[in-house]
Structure 1
Amino acid sequence: MRVRSWRREAVDGEGARMAGPAAVAVRSVPRGGWWPDVGLLAGFVAITGALLVWPPLLRLDLAVRDGSDAHRPPVAYWTAWTANHLGQGTPLAVLALVVALVLCWRARSVRPVLPVLGAEILTYCVVGPLKLWTERGAPHYGSVALFSEPHQTSYPSGHLVNTIVWYAVLAGLLSGWLPAAARTALRVVPVAVVAVTTVYLGYHWFTDTLAGLLLGVLLGRLLARVPWQRVPVPAALDPGPRDADRGTG
């Protein structure tokens, strides 16, 4: 019997299909080609522009904040506060790295860690600069307007971007163990929970979260397009299966 490792078994129109307990969906080309990506980017740009020139959108943010403040009894607050921790970026990144390192050890290859590094670099280089550039205060701690609160970093919601990207990475890393339905739930449920609770708790404006949703899905789709199995790495870090793993039976 052949022992399978973190290797591409077959490639079809949707990307690489992996097999075995150490399998990872290193690439799953998003549906719809590039048009959904263009739409997501256009949506993000449209929301950002509307916040600058369309006051009703700012009034909507204020109304959602005030409505949430008025309907937040202790039980609901603590339930939402607990659920909101599903979107903590640093713990999610550490968890993904631990899972990837286990897969690296099982496969004797560095490749399982590449999506984790890619996600960290992409989110850091995109979300951080946008937050610093837009200078928007958080609800209860600053102005609702963009470019009005130096050193404030509310827009877009990095909390939601991290949730979308890191759960997508975890779903890929765990693809050898989880069925398709479970992977879909892992991608969707935490995002829905964090999106609602972040606004309900007043951590972010409604439009912060909406922009974070669009940006997070866009970044997740970009990461899914990377052919991680073909990214050049030193031979010493990706030596391939040992002779013992090539046995037949």
Structure 2
Amino acid sequence: MRLRPVRPAGWWYDGLLLAALVALTVALAGGHLFGLDRAVADWAADHRPTAARWIAMIFNYLGQGTPLALIALGLGVLLAVRLRSVRPLLPPVLAEVLTYLTIGPLKVWTARPAPSASVKEPFLPPEQTLPLFQDGLPVRFAQSYPSGHVANAIVWYGVLALLLAPLLRTFGRTVPPRLVTVVRVVPPLVVLCTTTYLGWHWLTDSVAGLLLGLLLDRLLRRAPWDDLPLPGRLRRWDHPFTAHP
């Protein structure tokens, strides 16, 4: 099995993403960057008219993990039927496993409230909404870091882009590379901006979600989907589906 190519090539970039995520977490644990987070959150609160708020809320749905996972699984099933192969089901399944084992546990471990925790339940003092590791709070009030919306958007739109090209090829259509790039890039950026603008996450929460999402996306893009070993009973449904970029 040979890993699929990614850009930038090499594991150094993965290490850089991981190091940046660790450094950001350590900085926040030490009480740094709170001024930046507060300044961005206060600016957003002062520039959030009702119309802009509703527009941001609508666009933020682009980062809902469960609907994206179901759409990706649906594309995988459709492609599996058309190609008579179980391999298109592997990316959605592995993406679900990776996001489940990383995003949620990190949120619970870091235990950080959202900016909105000072204006709605549990109505914390503004200065108490910034620190990490607030284990005394109920879990539902301390799951802001990292942003799951941003990380999910990067992972799931990457999976959708991976499945969309071969699916359209089965209908005799091709996907321009620029469109694949748009699918991968635009929704996560929209989600990052809206989730921060709405006060649902601190800016550093969104940046952490971005770093984690990029790291997970690179792991998924490397996977040799057409070469992974499958049980012998699936031999009749074992056909390649990916195309190298």
Q: 1: distance between equivalents of 2:235 and 2:193?
A: 42
Any conservation in 2 of the 1:111–1:238 contact (CA below 8 Å)?
no
User: Which residue in 2 is equivalent to 1:127?
Assistant: 103
| Equivalent in the alignment of 2:29 | 52
Q: State the Cα RMSD in Å.
A: 1.9
2:162 aligns with one of 172, 191, 206: 172
Give, in whole Å, the separation in 2 of the partners of 1:118 and 1:224: 11
- Structure 1 match to 2:56: 80
1:19-30 mapped onto 2 (5 Å cutoff)? 27-30=4-7
Structure-to-structure mapping, 1:63-212, within 5 angstroms: 63-141=39-117, 143-149=129-135, 150=137, 151=139, 152-176=142-166, 177=168, 178-212=175-209
Q: Does 1:233 align with 2:234?
A: no
8 Å CA contact 1:30, 1:224 repeated in 2: no
For 1:48 and 1:119, locate their aligned partners in 2 and report how far apart those are by CA, in whole Å.
24
- Aligned residue for 2:230, secondary structure, equals coil
Per-residue displacement from partner, 1:159-178 (whole Å, max 9, x unpaired)? Answer: 10000000000000011332
| Cα distance in 1 for residues equivalent to 2:232 and 2:82 | 17
Q: What SS does structure 1 have at the residue aligned with 2:116?
A: coil
Q: Which one of the candidate residues 202, 208, 217 is aligned to 1:220? A: 217
1:240 is displaced (CA, Å) by 5.2
Deviation at 1:236, TM superposition (A): 3.1
Q: Which amino acid aligns with 1:52?
A: A
SS at match of 1:232: coil
2:10 and 2:162 map into 1 onto residues whose CA distance is 20
Q: Which of the pair is proportionally richer in helix?
A: 2
Whole-Å Cα distance in 1 between the matches of residues 6 and 233 of structure 2?
Answer: 28
Distance 1:195 1:155 in 2: 13
Q: CA deviation at 1:179?
A: 1.6
> 1:83 corresponds to which letter in structure 2?
F
TM-score by length of 2: 0.84
Residue 5 (structure 1) aligns with = none
User: Alpha-carbon deviation of 1:28?
Assistant: 4.3
Q: What is the alpha-carbon distance in structure 1 between the residues aligned to residue 100 and residue 114 of structure 2?
A: 20
Task: Name structure 1 gaps, 5 residues minimum.
Answer: 1-10, 16-26, 243-249
User: Larger radius of gyration, structure 1 or 2?
Assistant: 1
In 1, Cα distance between the equivalents of 2:234 and 2:130?
49
User: For residue 29 of structure 2, what is the amino acid of its counterpart?
Assistant: L
Matches within 5 A, 1:2-41: 27-41=4-18
Counterparts of 1:30 and 1:119, CA distance in 2: 19
Q: 1:147 is paired with a residue of what secondary structure? A: coil
Query: Cα–Cα, structure 1 residues 154 and 241, in superposed 2: closer, same or farther, change >3 Å?
Result: closer
Distance 1:132 1:73 in 2: 32
Query: How many positions carry a matched residue from both structures?
Result: 218
